[in-house]
Chain A
């Protein structure tokens, strides 16, 4: 177990919209792949081979470097039975681990409750974006939702610094216990003070930060830069959540998918380089997932909703390599035109919860699932 200052940190990067597995980790030696994909198929010579069967999309060169350095686990065929092929439903399943009923409690909400049961730190969980992801949602678990770290906080629209300080000073007094008149008022008071405390803590992060790594000027890079800033400020944040997309490439996939992969791969590489340069990488891993993969054959322009996908786990602590099996794409093995998942996503979560965060995964994911051993 790591010491407290060096407690394990999890960054979750959600590829929203359904990332095309077959064009991210490409079975380039299988002629069927090219039969299925006359429009969006990636030419064999452009693939970045991981072995003699599969390889990365050419725009994933930065991730290929990480893979080659042994810091990236590629987990094949991740999903669950009977993919509904609905973005909303499938995302819900990934977020709540409830494939059969409609769940409301997020798996990471439960993780955060285990990490910080007495809510000592209001920034244990940080969500990069204006609204909270359902994965983090659990009544009573505070989550800081940050659309923009540089302008995060209460009443940031107040342009004059003096005026804002004056208002916030008064706000603190008005939300203090002396003015409370009942349980709901007390609750609101505490919540307001928590929010202010969270923003006071977090606003220090960019001020403390210096780095020679130059992130690209796009959303995913800037979000990961903010994650790096918060992590490097040592605020005790243990779970970060962010998304990238949309990967919903029904049409014009060539170009669109390339761009998403380029920006994501570069952002991830820069992020880990930044952490390493600050000697703060060894306690951070990143989980990269999407709610489903896409259809085996293309539709003349893009690909439709599918089932099995690839999940990546990245970090110095990760034992790099390929895990699970690449699902068969033989016509007789497809279900509704899609490769069938052969490892349950809840097993991937279980590995991270148990072997990285040191928490019992069974009550969180709702059972026991095969765990890919990416931390051995």
Chain B
């Protein structure tokens, strides 16, 4: 079956709301209808059907890796590879990109993993719960120095980033608001960090310290009173700027690449109407992410945005492994495999700064394009992987293939991917240099499979394939 425009749309939805889909998954989905699939994505079972203990049984080091360098995100990678609730994991990546917290300072994977687990649990719920969860997360408190924020010595790091990077965006509040906001969070700390050696590391816990909290009046965005952190968050959520800010993040992550976040105060959205609509849904639903994403995925601006985003390293890595299959088992090598996503420029649990990763074209440089291209081509030419074997079998079922049919068949299987006429002409010329594909027995089949995987390699190396 070739993919019709409905199939292409479902494939688009699965790339954005998940990590793409294999051909058999797409065929199963196409019988359900687009809206039904959206509803399934929005209503995941907890933990997406993954029992993380399966990983720990085979790879005990992956449980609380603490400070072991480069190992911290393996459990998350394992979940993303195996989940049946891809949107749940995608939202977890989304929130991690906004509330960017890294081992570069926290020095402990386990604490950040706790935050990621919170995103998995609450990521499709109410934004208020997520912000509150972050405000009380020890990794974030340490990352942005709120444990150093005292009534007599205010540390503004958390207070400022809460407003600038997590909720409202720069230029929507004053320096006085930053200070007053910070004061309201004094005393939001965590249970004391014990010396690591020789006792080893203990988990941190949120701790409110009444003696270290500033109970005097604060004036924040027009409200005055003995405000505490909860009330500050309520006031922040009342601000239209907050809804606009989150709407732009959702658009940039799920719909189409936008300017980088620091430029938002001076750059208008490419699609103002879409941002206004998302903002309205967010605001009216009391920042309910399920309601908002339902609106986004069913809107025309989403359905028209095919291949309008450069794939992130997580898209590349997880999407490819789920597509070709064969890496689901928590076997040896999963730790090294997981590091690939960092080599491509997105080291999970270690973003470059509190600003998170720059996205879109900034994912790509001469080093990362080589990492991702080599990864794509390695995987897609490995005929021992079930997804690759399936493509070979499906194309063989079509019988002898002209060069055009070979190219179109491969483009269809890998997307369906639309390419420019010039690109298709190049691919056809390449295919034609080997003559038509005629499936024979044994030896001849091997040669045809090699030609087929060569075409697949060329296509995944295309610029066009860098887009999701």
Docked complex Cα distance between A167 and B374 (Å) = 13
The answer to whether A189 and B463 have CB atoms under 8 Å apart is yes
Partner of A155, one of B107, B310, B377, B420: B377
Of all chain B residues, the one with the shortest Cβ separation from A132 is B367
With A142-B366, A187-B361 in contact, is A155–B461 under 8 Å at CB?
A: yes
Stretch at the interface among B127-135, B223-231, B346-354: B346-354
Contacts of B361 in A (CB 8 A): 184, 187-188
Bound complex: CA of A264 vs CA of B346, how far in Å?
A: 30
Contact with A along B82-105 (1 / 0, CB 8 A): 000000000000000000001111
Residues in A with CB closer than 8 Å to B67 are: 87
- Which parts of B180-221 form the interface with A (CB within 8 Å)? 196-198
| Bound Cα distance A173, B343 (Å) | 26
Whether A102 and B365, one on each chain, are in contact in the complex, defined by CB atoms closer than 8 angstroms, is no
Identify the stretch in B293-301, B318-326, B422-430 within 8 Å (CB) of chain A at 4 or more residues: B422-430
Nearest B-chain residue to A175, judged by Cβ: B463
Tell me, rounded to whole Å, the shortest Cβ–Cβ distance linking B462 to chain A: 6
**Chain A's nearest CB lies how many Å from the CB of B302?**
19
Q: B242: CB under 8 A from chain A?
A: no
Interface size, chain B (Cβ < 8 Å):
51
Bound-state Cα–Cα, A156 to B377, Å: 10
Q: In the bound complex, do residue B104 and residue A88 qualify as a contact, i.e. CB atoms below 8 Å apart?
A: yes
Are the CB atoms of A184 and B310 closer together than 8 Å?
yes
Inter-chain contact A179/B426, CB cutoff 8 Å: yes
Given contacts A104-B353, A156-B374, A184-B361, contact A88 B198 (CB under 8 A): no
Number of A positions contacting B (CB below 8 A): 54
Chain A residues with CB under 8 Å of B461's CB are 154-155, 167, 171, 174
Q: Is the CB of B69 within 8 A of A87?
A: yes
In-complex Cβ contact of B458 among A92, A103, A170, A188 (8 A): A170
Contact with B along A74-93 (1 / 0, CB 8 A): 00000000001011110110
Report the nearest B residue to A123, measured CB to CB: B366
A155-171 contacts to B (CB < 8 Å): 155-158, 163, 166-167, 170-171
- In the assembled complex, the CB of A41 is this many whole angstroms from the nearest CB of chain B, namely 19
Docked-complex contact B426 and A188, CB < 8 angstroms? no
The binding surface of chain B is classed by DSSP as helix
Q: Does B373 contact A (CB under 8 A)?
A: yes
Closest approach, in angstroms, between the C-beta of A40 and any C-beta of chain B?
14
Do A167 and B454 have beta carbons less than 8 Å apart? yes
Interface hit among A190-198, A269-277, A342-350: A190-198
Q: A86-B107, A89-B105, A199-B370 are in contact. Are A188 and B463 (CB under 8 A)?
A: yes
A131–B368 alpha-carbon span in the complex (Å): 9
Q: Which of A86, A157, A304 contacts B374 (CB 8 A)?
A: A157
Residues of B within 8 A of A199 (CB): 370
A187 to B104, CA, bound (A): 30
Q: How far is the CA of A189 from the CA of B423 in the complex (A)?
A: 13
Q: Are the CB atoms of A195 and B458 closer together than 8 Å? A: no
Q: Tell me which residues across on chain B come within 8 A of A194, comparing CB atoms.
A: 366
> In angstroms, how far is the closest chain B Cβ from the Cβ of A36?
16
Q: Which chain A residues (180-225) contact chain B, with CB distance < 8 Å?
A: 181, 184-185, 187-189, 191-192, 194-195, 198-199
| Given known A131-B343, A155-B374, A299-B197, contact A104–B366 (CB-CB < 8 A) | no
At the interface, yes or no: B371 with Cβ under 8 Å from chain A?
yes
Instruction: Choose among B339, B423, B461, B463 the residue with the greatest number of A CB atoms under 10 Å from its CB.
Output: B463
Known: A145-B367, A158-B457. A92 touches B105 (CB 8 A): yes
Question: How far is A187 from B371 in the complex, measured between Cα atoms in Å?
Answer: 17
| A102, B369: Cβ atoms closer than 8 Å | no
The residues in B between 362 and 421 inclusive whose CB is less than 8 angstroms from any CB of A are 362, 364-367, 369-371, 373-374, 377-378, 381, 420
Q: Does B169 contact A (CB under 8 A)?
A: no
**Beta-carbon contact of B107 and A195 below 8 Å:** no
The reply to whether B350 and A155 contact each other, CB–CB distance below 8 Å, is: no
User: Which residues does chain B contribute within 8 Å of A156, judged by CB atoms?
Assistant: 374
Query: In the complex, what residues of B have CB within 8 A of residue A234's CB?
Result: none
Which residues of B in the span 35-82 have a Cβ within 8 Å of any Cβ on A? 67, 69
Please report which residues of chain A, range 265-313, place their CB below 8 angstroms from some CB of chain B when the two chains form the complex.
299, 304
30 contacts between A and B (CB under 8 A): A86-B107, A88-B105, A88-B350, A89-B107, A91-B104, A92-B104, A102-B105, A131-B347, A137-B352, A145-B343, A145-B370, A145-B371, A155-B374, A155-B457, A157-B374, A158-B377, A170-B426, A170-B458, A174-B423, A175-B463, A179-B426, A184-B310, A187-B364, A188-B364, A188-B466, A191-B364, A191-B369, A192-B373, A195-B366, A250-B197
Q: Please list the 6 inter-chain residue pairs (A to B) with the smallest Cβ-Cβ separation, ordered nearest first.
A: A86-B107, A145-B367, A195-B366, A88-B104, A194-B366, A188-B463
Interface residues of A, Cβ cutoff 8 Å to B: 84, 86-89, 91-92, 102-104, 122, 127, 130-132, 134, 137, 139, 142-145, 153-158, 163, 166-167, 170-171, 173-175, 178-179, 181, 184-185, 187-189, 191-192, 194-195, 198-199, 246, 250, 299, 304
Other A-B pairs, 8, CB within 8 Å; known A179-B463, A198-B366: A130-B339, A137-B352, A155-B373, A158-B381, A185-B463, A192-B369, A192-B463, A194-B366
* B interface list, Cβ under 8 A from A: 67, 69, 102-107, 196-198, 257, 310, 339, 342-343, 347, 350, 352-355, 358, 360-362, 364-367, 369-371, 373-374, 377-378, 381, 420, 422-423, 426, 430, 450, 454, 457-458, 461-463, 466
